[in-house]
């Protein structure tokens, strides 16, 4: 289990959308992005509520991990909540498409983990690890590793917005990392 001092939780971003979207491809698009970025995806929660007059409900939690090297590991926690899910038919460019209507809530939490294999496990090595992170490798941790994870999470954020066809889908920071 990762020690609390070795985990660095970066800012969580949230997306809330209410409207028509392609539910069938929603999870596939996000999963493919993780696979393309060499993340391993673990589904820690899947909850589906039987459709009621207001619609179906779906709650999914994903833990995704990527080992960068022997010391650093990236983790992105995803939380999905889809409510009032109903099937609808949409006419676009003279063709009828089957889509879904509902409310989508997504929370993206990037976490950076150092010493994930717990090699610095004695009190002396532990203090050496803290000294290393605080003084020797601080610039690299702040400006390289955590920045890379942070902006990769924003690329995912933009991908989700693009899939939902939100007005603010543009990502000018796409060029960073």
Separation CA 158–CA 84 (nearest Å): 24
Phi, psi dihedral angles at 137 (to 5 degrees) = -105, 15
Alpha-carbon dihedral 149, 156, 69, 140, rounded to 10 degrees: -20
Among 78, 141, 149, 164, binds other proteins (CB under 8 A): 164
Binding mask 4-43 for other proteins (x = CB under 8 A): -------x-xxxxxxxx-----------------------
CB of 67 to other proteins, least distance (A): 25
Among 133, 152, 157, 163, binds other proteins (CB under 8 A): 157
CB of 82 to other proteins, least distance (A): 15
Which of these segments, 36-44, 62-70, 80-88, 167-175, binds other proteins (CB under 8 A)? 167-175
Please list, in sequence order, all residues whose beta carbon lies within 8 angstroms of the beta carbon of residue 137, skipping any fewer than 6 positions away.
none
Q: Does 161 engage in binding with other proteins (CB under 8 A)?
A: yes
Separation CA 109–CA 13 (nearest Å): 7
CB of 65 to other proteins, least distance (A): 23
Binding site for other proteins (CB under 8 A): 11, 13-20, 150-151, 154, 157, 161, 164, 166-173
């Amino acid at each position: 289990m990762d020690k609390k001092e070795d985990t660095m939780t970066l800012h969580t971003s949230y997306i809330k959308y209410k409207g028509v979207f392609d539910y069938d491809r929603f999870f596939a698009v996000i999963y493919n992005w993780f696979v393309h970025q060499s993340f391993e995806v673990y589904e820690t929660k899947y909850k589906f509520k039987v459709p009621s007059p207001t619609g179906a409900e779906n709650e999914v939690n994903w833990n995704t991990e990527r080992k960068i090297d022997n010391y650093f590991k990236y983790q992105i926690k995803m939380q999905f909540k889809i409510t009032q899910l109903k099937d609808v038919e949409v006419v676009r460019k003279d063709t009828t498409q089957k889509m879904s209507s509902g409310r989508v809530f997504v929370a993206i939490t990037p976490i950076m983990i150092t010493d994930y294999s717990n090699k610095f496990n004695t009190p002396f090595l532990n203090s050496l690890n803290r000294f290393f992170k605080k003084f020797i490798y601080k610039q690299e941790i702040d400006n390289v590793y955590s920045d890379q994870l942070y902006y990769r999470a924003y690329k995912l954020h933009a991908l989700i917005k693009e899939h939902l066809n939100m007005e603010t889908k543009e990502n000018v920071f796409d060029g960073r990392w």
